[in-house]
Amino acid sequence: VLEVKRNINPQEICNKIREGNISALSKAITLCESNNDSDREISSQILANLKPKNKNTIRIGITGVPGAGKSTFIEAFGNFLSNQGIKIAVLTIDPSSRATKGSILGDKTRMETLSTKNNVFIRPSPASNFKGGVGKNTPESIFLCESAGYEIILVETVGVGQNEISVSDMVDFFLLLKITGSGDELQGIKRGIIEMSDLIVINKCDGNNIEESIKAKNEFKLALQLFPIKSSNWKPKVVTCSSIKKEGLENIWDCINEYVLLTKKNNYFFENRINQNKTNLLNIINESLRISFFNKKSVDINLDKLFKEIEQQKITVFEASQKILSQI
């Protein structure tokens, strides 16, 4: 029997999540994101007592520079999937302010039509300055959504377009959204983002932008030929899309299904999931040790005093670290 704390019954939340209850799912994600010891203990109990309903889920990472139209694309693509009766969860990550640690969390308001669908769950979360374009509890959120029966998980990153490395450790398929005329063409992107991409989508291919979009598509196609073959044996594709006109969405879905079919056949899909679980295990251990260390009453961590001594050049960073770590 699971323990009851703070008027929250973990077993009850688990049962409701299995039933697809959105309120219970939201509460579980909030508990995972909390730094409160009691909340984290309850969230650990919830996570340990759940299992994904469907083994055929697809996790899709979506990134692109600000202005690439990520929210509009997800609104259009999400509606396309939803209309086919597919249960989808959208995990959006908003950048957090370094000064206030706050986040706008406005993505849900930008997906007005999608957010009204019964088979769609949208959850905005702050990045909390966690590097890699995703929130530090994104893997837990993915797991909870799959336990609630969602089949497709769309993970939208912060969207800086340069540091989305972490999201590749969490998803099955990585989609890079691009636009033309933003000064961010082929020469403007880092090699690592291209290497991770399974599909490059030239968005906003409409109106006066059609010709430029086709030109950009051909440039990316040529560039991809210079990259080594991916370990998945998948050859990344480049397609155009108009989120506003809802054009090219079916082609994108076909590419994703083609990728899943290939990688399941050659076993890469399953190997990648296993590697994701291993990475997640190490991340959970590291994060738990960090939190428990700083919350340990027996450890005297007077960071303000040490910061001042470093500022006054009385001690080095290494001496300061030894003062703390020697107490373990």
* Model pLDDT, residue 109: 52
Answer for the pair 155, 166: CB distance below 8 angstroms, yes or no. no
234, two tokens: 């998948």
What's the rounded Cα separation, in Å, for the pair 257 and 263? 10
Q: How confident is the model at residue 3 (pLDDT cuts 50, 70, 90)?
A: very low
**193, pLDDT greater than 90:** no
Q: Which three-class secondary structure state does DSSP give residue 199?
A: strand
E runs forming strands in the chain: 58-63, 88-94, 120-126, 152-156, 173-178, 199-202, 237-240
pLDDT value of position 303: 78
Distance CA 118, CA 134 (A): 25
What confidence category does residue 165 fall into, taking pLDDT thresholds of 50, 70 and 90?
low
- At 65, the pLDDT band (50, 70, 90 cuts) reads confident
pLDDT at 258: 98
Using an 8 Å Cβ cutoff, are 73 and 177 in contact?
Answer: yes
Q: List, as one string, the DSSP characters of 13-37.
A: HHHHHHTT-HHHHHHHHHHHH---H
Q: What is the mean pLDDT of the chain?
A: 83
Domains delineated in the chain: 1-50 (1.20.5), 52-275 (3.40.50.300), 297-328 (no CATH)
Ranges 9-23, 166-180, 185-199: which has the least confidence: 185-199
Residue 180, pLDDT above cutoff 60: yes
Q: What is the pLDDT of residue 179?
A: 84
Q: What are phi and psi of 61, to 5 degrees?
A: -90, 135
Is the torsion defined by CA of 285, 291, 292, 293 positive or negative?
positive
Q: What is the reported pTM?
A: 0.84
Residue 284: per-residue pLDDT: 84
CA-based R_g, the chain, Å:
22
Residue 161, token pair as written in the block: 């377009």
Q: In what order do the strands lie in the sheet with 173-178?
A: 120-126, 88-94, 152-156, 58-63, 173-178, 199-202, 237-240
Query: What share of the chain has pLDDT > 90, as a percent?
Result: 47
Q: Is the torsion defined by CA of 9, 49, 172, 261 positive or negative?
A: negative
Q: What phi and psi values does residue 189 have, to the nearest 5 degrees?
A: -110, 150
**Structure confidence at residue 159 (pLDDT):** 60
